[in-house]
Homo-oligomer: A and B are copies of this chain.
Amino acid sequence: MRASETAYQLLRDEIIQWKLEPGTPLGEVETSLRLGVSRTPLREALSRLIAEGLVRTGPGRTAVVTSLSLRDIVELFELREALETQAARLAARRREPSVFEALRAEFLTGSRDASGASAEDRPYDLADALDVAIDEAAGSVYLQGALRDLRGHLARVRRSAHSNADRLARATSEHVLIVDAILAQDEALAASATSVHLHNSLANILASLPPEAAR
């Protein structure tokens, strides 16, 4: 694999998994030595991360890991609602029934065959699988591109707020509602069901981290 790609993947993972906390400076020489690549491919990786919004250029042209305040989370969900409701609409219009029928069964039984992940990650895997299926069914390159960038930020949010069992059960039923709407090719309902899910999801996140307001 190309060194620039390696550096990009490594840094992206570290940022999403909070191994690199917001505000961490990413000096070029230091980081390139740490990752075992030269400065040239590292700079390319940083460029991509900056374009993606996970890294920003701080004072003095230094690259630092982007912060993720409460306001950021709210704004992220405002963008997410715009993109995912549209994706749900388009998916309802163009979906391949078999894909979503399979997902529906998995949601109802809670199984996820091919996944080798741990039990506690399973609900997330299933939700991610639905996201991927909707993105693909929407069939828009540009929408998919915007969603891809968004997902990185959202993965970071997920790490900062954990769901309880009750929320997970409710989320599953919300997901089934979305799948049913897509299968019924009901665009308006698919969008509404997505909107409902996102509002509940955001409310759960906000409720789980009020003590420290700013991050």
Give me the interface of A with B, judged by CB distance under 8 Å.
Answer: 40, 43-44, 47-48, 51-53, 72, 75-76, 78-79, 81-83, 85-86, 90, 139-143, 145-146, 149-150, 153
Which chain B residues lie closer than 8 Å to A52 at the CB level? 51
Known: A40-B40, A47-B44, A47-B48. A53 touches B90 (CB 8 A): no
| Contact of A78 with B90 in the complex, beta carbons under 8 Å | yes
| Contact of B86 with A53 in the complex, beta carbons under 8 Å | no
| Contact of B76 with A86 in the complex, beta carbons under 8 Å | no
Q: List 7 A-B contacts (CB under 8 A).
A: A40-B40, A44-B47, A51-B52, A72-B141, A75-B141, A78-B86, A79-B143
Which residue of B44, B72, B75, B82 contacts A43 across the interface (Cβ within 8 Å)? B44
Nearest chain B residue, comparing its CB with the CB of A41: B43
Across chains A and B, which 3 residue pairs bring their CB atoms closest together, nearest first?
A82-B86, A51-B51, A75-B140
Known: A51-B48, A83-B82. A146 touches B146 (CB 8 A): yes
Distance to closest chain B CB from A154 (angstroms): 10
Which chain B residues lie closer than 8 Å to A153 at the CB level? 142
**Complex: A51 Cα to B140 Cα, angstroms:** 16
**Complex: A214 Cα to B40 Cα, angstroms:** 38
Nearest chain B residue, comparing its CB with the CB of A2: B61
**Complex: A40 Cα to B72 Cα, angstroms:** 33
| Contact of B75 with A142 in the complex, beta carbons under 8 Å | yes
Which chain B residues lie closer than 8 Å to A85 at the CB level? 82
Which chain B residues lie closer than 8 Å to A75 at the CB level? 139-143
| Contact of A140 with B79 in the complex, beta carbons under 8 Å | yes
**Complex: A79 Cα to B87 Cα, angstroms:** 9
Which chain B residues lie closer than 8 Å to A40 at the CB level? 40
Which chain B residues lie closer than 8 Å to A51 at the CB level? 47-48, 51-52
Which chain B residues lie closer than 8 Å to A82 at the CB level? 82-83, 85-86, 143
| Contact of A140 with B78 in the complex, beta carbons under 8 Å | yes
| Contact of B76 with A142 in the complex, beta carbons under 8 Å | yes
**Complex: A43 Cα to B43 Cα, angstroms:** 10
**Complex: A82 Cα to B79 Cα, angstroms:** 9
